[in-house]
A and B are shown apart, each in its own frame.
Chain A
Amino acid sequence: QKEVEQDPGPLSVPEGAIVSLNCTYSNSAFQYFMWYRQYSRKGPELLMYTYSSGNKEDGRFTAQVDKSSKYISLFIRDSQPSDSATYLCATGVGAGSYQLTFGKGTKLSVIP
């Protein structure tokens, strides 16, 4: 079983829809969780960073972590064509351990 599983999509939604992107992970030692957005032919950029369980909101984006079920989600409200990108989840053990484990990414297209 891979440490982080992510549905590759592609996912296509109409403009204005609510988007739900999800990952599952197997290592209970993971303590912090991130979502990256990657536009075509660009490097990933950090979108959301959360530590332990709970929700974090930033504008139209909400990151949710459920450690009991080892499930992490990213919700995008009022999706825009500019949100069309690949979204990668990432997890890490904690401070002092540098390495992150990445999902393979979900490709999202928001249709005008």
Chain B
Amino acid sequence: DGGITQSPKYLFRKEGQNVTLSCEQNLNHDAMYWYRQDPGQGLRLIYYSQIVNDFQKGDIAEGYSVSREKKESFPLTVTSAQKNPTAFYLCASSPRQGGGYTFGSGTRLTVV
């Protein structure tokens, strides 16, 4: 079955460490997205990519980095520069012709 796989489901990080969240899709979608979700804040866009080797900052890109070396993969690195990284992170993808996003099941990151 086609879909988006995010891993790991839960992640714990010590302060000062970088951590990378994985997102892989087999839907042949062109665009991929990373969102952060906090209670009461809704979905906030971190980064998005419409094609391989190209990506744009979203509303809250500071302290995050991404790469898009393959169409199927869009990993997100949460760097030590991110002041408040504890959150639920969601990856999504969509086809070129528009339409709805398909979301992954999310990664819950906790800084300890």
* Contact digits for A19-47, partner B, Cβ 8 Å, 1 yes 0 no: 00000000000001010100001111110
A44 to B101, CA, bound (A): 9
Q: Which of A36-77 contact B (CB under 8 A)?
A: 36, 41-46, 49
Selected from B45, B90, B108, the residue in CB contact (under 8 A) with A44 is: B90
Main secondary structure of the interface of B (DSSP, over half): strand
* Inter-chain contact A46/B40, CB cutoff 8 Å: no
Main secondary structure of the interface of A (DSSP, over half): strand
Number of interface residues of B (CB under 8 A): 27
CB of B59 to closest CB in A, whole Å:
11
Q: Which residues of B contact A34 (CB under 8 A)?
A: 100
Residues of A within 8 A of B (CB): 8, 32, 34, 36, 41-46, 49, 88, 90, 92, 94-100, 102-105
Residues of B within 8 A of A (CB): 4, 6, 30-31, 40-43, 45, 48, 50, 88, 90, 92, 94, 96-106, 108
Knowing that A32-B99, A88-B43, A100-B100 touch, tell me 5 more A-B residue pairs with CB under 8 angstroms: A32-B98, A36-B100, A36-B103, A43-B92, A46-B102
